[in-house]
Amino acid sequence: MQQIFNFLIRHKNTLLFLLLLFLSVLFTVQSHSYHKSKFINSANFLTGGVYNWVNDIDEYFNLKEYNNRLVEENKYLRSRLGELNAESSDTIYQDTSSFDNPYKFISAKVIRNQFSNIDNYILINKGKKDSVHNDLGVITSRGIVGIVEESSNNFSRVISILNTNSSISVQLKNTNHFGSLVWNGKDPNIVQLEEVPRLAPVHKGDTITTDGRSYIFPKGIPVGVVDDFELDVNQSYYKIDVRLFNDMTNIGYVYIIDNQNLEELKSLEKEENE
Amino acid sequence: MNKLVLSNITRFILLILLQVTILSNINFLGFINPYLYVLFILLLPLNLDHWKVIIYSFLIGIIIDVFQDSGGINAAASLVAAYLRPNVLKFAFGVSYEFQTIKFYQTPFAQRLTYILLIVFIHHFVLFSFAYFNFTYILEILENTLFSGIFTVLLVVISMILFRKRRR
């Protein structure tokens, strides 16, 4: 017994070191697996508060850019509105309540953005109080940003598409061939599209959009254009470099998409599988 | 003694705030960020009990991790640096450090630089190894360690010159 105590006292530093090292390795491993990092999480009042405060100052430097984006988006929406008016003037009246839009949009501000690490997260200033919860899609007017991973009352952590754990189902706009969007950790403007079959006609400059299969993003949200492509080692799938429409280094304001039919769709899918 | 505790607590808080608000967003050439908070580990009193050094270093690391959503990478890196600190001190300053006779700012610059370089590069190497967590990225790990390390060492040396205690 005495010897055990002696051993413990003599090696207390090493034991302490090993214990704490074990903890940090545990946290690191958790952060590398999707939906596991519960403890080490910046969506809390302290860190969120600090970033909010910093962002209040930082925001002023980007006001001009954000204004331009808003004008651009307004212009696009105006032109769509014009088209719709022109269409509807000579069509029969339809009961719009049966065509209810299942997607609800919540606007939010990015208060901390990362893009230089290999696993990047974004912090936004809306949380459970604004009915933001996990697995909601996050987009800007230009394209997709990521998926909400964790929410506190006032803040949410978004797993950016610039994260090696992120994988989003997307398609070629013209042909409906789909694949998954991942990131190799290098250029924050280029992401990789994998598992597109060899049969698909891929050209440089083709537009990539979301395909709506995951129900998180509606179909047709823009992602980027094909920048470069090659066949993988097995010669059966394409590896495509996609240049994002979004400037991931300067995001600003985002929209969170809440699919109101998600529960229904998921329960149906569950029944199918059983 | 109290003054020493107070200055270390102030340094702790200031370095965390500086790190998460400014230094981690520099992204020089797209990916190079300094990790100046290592300065806290470097400047902990040389005669402080080793287990305290380990705990304080772990604390600063884990707080940085919470801010940056990085799991436990900063905590692990700080821990390893703190654990090896006595060995590095012995290597850099010779045995005299063990008799607690040396004052940090009165040591020759070359010895101090050895100490800084070793601690910073140990810290950064562990940091980026854990960040990538996959040795197929060994080139990226070494590249990041080298460039961020140089940046950090520069900032550490500059802040030591700026904030050194004047005794005259």
Q: pLDDT (tens digit, 9 = 90+) per residue, B124-141?
A: 999 999 888 888 888 888
CA dist list (Å): A163 to A35, A80, A115, A172, B2: 13, 34, 9, 22, 45
- Give me the total of CB pairs closer than 8 Å, taking one residue from chain A and one from chain B: 107
The pair of structure tokens assigned to A253 is 């304001």
Question: Which residue of B20, B69, B83 is in closest CB contact with A41?
Answer: B69
B contact set with A (CB within 8 A): 17, 20-21, 27, 30-31, 33, 50-51, 54-55, 58, 61-62, 65-73, 75-76, 79-80, 82-83, 130-133, 137, 140
Q: Does residue B152 have a pLDDT over 60?
A: yes
Q: Distance from B33 to chain A by nearest Cα, in Å?
A: 9
Yes or no, beta carbons of A40 and B71 under 8 Å apart? yes
Q: Does residue B100 have a pLDDT over 70?
A: no
Q: What is the pLDDT of residue B137?
A: 84
Count of C-beta atoms within a 10 Å radius of residue A7: 11
Helix (H), strand (E) at residue B116 = helix B109-132
- Interface residue of B16, B24, B33, B70 to substitute, partner A, most A CBs within 10 Å: B70
List chain A pLDDT tens, one digit each, 274 residues.
Answer: 788 888 888 888 888 999 999 998 888 888 777 655 566 677 777 888 888 888 888 888 888 888 888 888 888 888 888 887 776 666 566 555 555 677 888 899 998 888 888 888 999 998 899 888 888 899 988 889 999 988 888 899 999 999 888 888 898 888 888 889 999 888 888 999 888 888 888 888 889 998 888 788 888 888 999 988 888 887 788 889 999 988 888 888 899 988 888 788 788 878 777 6
Yes or no, beta carbons of A40 and B54 under 8 Å apart? no
pLDDT digits (tens, 9 = 90+) for B37-63: 999 999 888 888 889 999 999 999 999
Q: Between helices B138-163 and B109-132, what is the axis angle to 10°?
A: 140
Hey, what domains does chain A have and what are their CATH numbers? 40-86+105-259 (2.40.10.350)
Residues in chain B: 168
What does chain A look like in DSSP terms, one character per residue? -HHHHHHHHHTHHHHHHHHHHHHHHHHHHHHTSTT---SS-S-SHHHHHHHHHHHHHHGGGGHHHHHHHHHHHHHHHHHHHHHHHHHHTTS----GGGG---EEEEEEEEEEE--SSSEEEEEES--GGGT--TT-EEE-SSSEEEEEEEE-SS-EEEEEEEETT--EEEEETTT--EEEEE--SS-TTEEEEEEEETTS---TT-EEEE-SSSSSS-TT-EEEEEEEEEE-TTSSEEEEEEEESS-TT---EEEEEEETTHHHHHHHHHHHH-
User: Which residue type sits at B98?
Assistant: E
Gyration radius of chain A's alpha carbons: 23
Read off the pLDDT band of B168 (50, 70, 90): very low
Yes or no, beta carbons of A118 and B132 under 8 Å apart? yes
Three-state secondary-structure class, residue B120: helix
Q: What is the pLDDT of residue A10?
A: 83
With a CB cutoff of 8 Å and minimum separation 6, the contacts of B53 are: B41, B44, B82, B85
Q: Is A117 on the interface with B (CB under 8 A)?
A: yes
Cβ-Cβ contacts under 8 Å, A26 against chain B: 72
Three-state secondary-structure class, residue B161: helix
Cβ-Cβ contacts under 8 Å, A51 against chain B: 20, 67
Cβ-Cβ contacts under 8 Å, A24 against chain B: 58, 61-62, 65, 71-73, 75-76, 79, 130
The pair of structure tokens assigned to A271 is 């029944």
Q: Is A81 on the interface with B (CB under 8 A)?
A: no
